[in-house]
Amino acid sequence: MLPKVKICGVTQAEVIKHLDNLGVSYAGLWHGIPEGKYNLSLAELTALTSIPVQNVSFTMVTLNSELDFLSQAIELAHINAIQFHGFTLPSVIEKIKHQYGHSIEILKVIHIKDNQCLEGGFIQRYIDAGCDALILDSYQDNTRIGSTGIRLEQHVITDFVSTWGNQISIMIAGGLSENTIPELITSTMPFGIDIDSAARHNGIINRERVTAIMTSVASASMPRLETTTVI
Ligand SMILES: O=C(O)c1ccccc1N[C@@H]1O[C@H](COP(=O)(O)O)[C@@H](O)[C@H]1O
């Protein structure tokens, strides 16, 4: 199975249609990211998630852990998944899962700084709370919580996947592009990849950029043919 692709920070209806046609699995829509450059109001989130799609899961990306805020978005917009960025408590995830069950997929970002996992002691609790997948991403500080441009070192990814990959699906984020995807897929074959910056041209998500990413994922995932030398 091909790794799933999430493209993050969508703000336009036309982009949703492109992502859906290109076979992208998750469209990340920012809501509850104060002053975030792609942040959407509830009305904008509701409008974008009303577009009919075949493939894409509408994924609300948020730093907000307040239950009233989350419930309002779930009940008014047509979201399929929530990506909790930042330091959400496992109890919040447990409550959302308890209330909405399988209708909302939960992706929890696990932040890596200087090769250390900042939520190291919480991973089992996130899994037990009902998270569907974890996203490993690089973290700099409170002002650069995502899109840091810092790629995770391969040994950090390998260690994490070998420790937790038998319990939960793992996605990888952090400065990925069509140039770095092949190495990641060959060495790790993650459940999914999460991309923001590399999907853009002049700051706008671009069909050609996403096509390059999808092509890279598909070709890197093809089984290699063994060559036999006949003497
Ligand atoms: O980009 C940000 O500043 C940001 C802020 C709050 C939540 C998420 C944010 N970015 C997310 O980081 C990953 C990886 O992006 P990239 O490919 O490294 O540019 C993605 O989910 C972004 O939306």
pLDDT band at 179 (very low <50, low <70, confident <90, very high): very high
Spatial CB neighbours of 149, under 8 Å, sequence gap ≥ 6: 175, 197
**Angle in degrees, 0-180, between the axes of helices 207-221 and 181-188, rounded to the nearest 10:** 30
Overall average pLDDT of the 13-42 stretch:
97
pLDDT band at 22 (very low <50, low <70, confident <90, very high): very high
Overall average pLDDT of the 169-191 stretch:
95
Tell me the CB-side half-sphere exposure of residue 62, using CA atoms within 13 A.
25
- Write down the pLDDT at residue 227: 57
- Write down the pLDDT at residue 144: 80
Report the C-alpha gap between 174 and 187 in whole angstroms. 16
Q: Which helix (H) or strand (E) holds 100?
A: helix 90-100
**Predicted ipTM?**
0.92
Q: Whose CA is nearest to atom 23 of ligand 1?
A: 8
Q: pLDDT tens across 130-143, in order? A: 999 999 999 988 88
- Write down the pLDDT at residue 107: 98
Overall average pLDDT of the 35-62 stretch:
97
Q: Whose CA is nearest to atom 10 of ligand 1?
A: 146
Distance 160 CA to ligand 1 centre (A): 20
Point out the ligand 1 atom lying closest to the alpha carbon of residue 83. Answer: 21
Overall average pLDDT of the 53-65 stretch:
97
Mean pLDDT over each residue of the chain, to the nearest integer: 94
Is a pLDDT exceeding 80 seen at residue 52? yes
Is a pLDDT exceeding 70 seen at residue 147? yes
How far is CA 60 from each of CA 20, 107, 143, 177, 227, rounded to the nearest angstrom?
16, 10, 20, 22, 45
The percent of residues above 70 in pLDDT, for the chain, comes to: 96
Point out the ligand 1 atom lying closest to the alpha carbon of residue 33. Answer: 6
Overall average pLDDT of the 180-200 stretch:
95
Q: What are phi and psi of 218, to 5 degrees?
A: -65, -45
Answer yes or no: pTM beyond 0.90: yes
pLDDT band at 148 (very low <50, low <70, confident <90, very high): confident
Distance 147 CA to ligand 1 centre (A): 4
Distance 146 CA to ligand 1 centre (A): 4
The percent of residues above 90 in pLDDT, for the chain, comes to: 89
Is a pLDDT exceeding 90 seen at residue 196? yes
140, 116 in Cβ contact below 8 A? no
Question: Which residues lie with the beta carbon below 6 Å from any ligand 1 atom?
Answer: 8-9, 28, 33, 36, 61, 63, 85, 137, 145-147, 173-176, 194-198
Distance 143 CA to ligand 1 centre (A): 12
Q: Higher pLDDT residue, 231 or 101?
A: 101
Distance 228 CA to ligand 1 centre (A): 44
